[in-house]
Amino acid sequence: MLGSLLTILATALSLLVVDIIFPGVDLANFPAALIAAVAIGIVNAGVRPIIALLSLPLNILSLGAFSLVVNGFCFWLASVFVPGFRVAGLLSFLLAPVLLSFVNTFLNNYLGERYPNLMGGQNPSLTDGQQ
């Protein structure tokens, strides 16, 4: 439970970084970033697999480049449901989810190394059956 909350927090912080770098991504405040992080998680878990399956022929023809469009669409779709979160412009549509992924991966890895028990990892001092 706490690991999920830390993941949402890391995604919200990543969204704030994306907001700073891309002028087409606008977040009103930190609570909007938290709600947007939850919305992105729900869209990526529920809608993205269906869109990815339907766009599989285009993805194969483009050698995977159409995945950028699928990610951008899911990112934009999450912004539709969250007041205070807006995505405008083609560059933000395509590249902001890529930056979000990089920053989010960095933060999750940092938190996972720093607090392994909270993020669902193993405690390095308890390996090899020692207690």
Report whether pLDDT(128) > 70: no
Give the distance, in angstroms, between the CA of residue 11 and the centroid of all CA atoms in the same chain. Answer: 6
Longest dimension (CA), the chain: 54
Write out the two tokens for 53: 């399956």
Read off the pLDDT of residues 101-115 as tens digits, 9 standing for 90 and up.
Answer: 999 999 888 877 887
Read off the pLDDT of residues 33-91 as tens digits, 9 standing for 90 and up.
Answer: 999 999 999 999 999 999 999 999 999 999 999 999 999 999 999 999 999 999 999 99
Pick the more confident residue, 44 or 116: 44
**Lowest mean pLDDT, pick from 3-12, 22-31, 67-76, 85-94:** 3-12
Write out the two tokens for 47: 């809608």
Report whether pLDDT(123) > 90: no
Please give the DSSP secondary-structure letter assigned to residue 124: G
The DSSP bridge partners found for residue 27 are 85
pTM across the whole model: 0.83
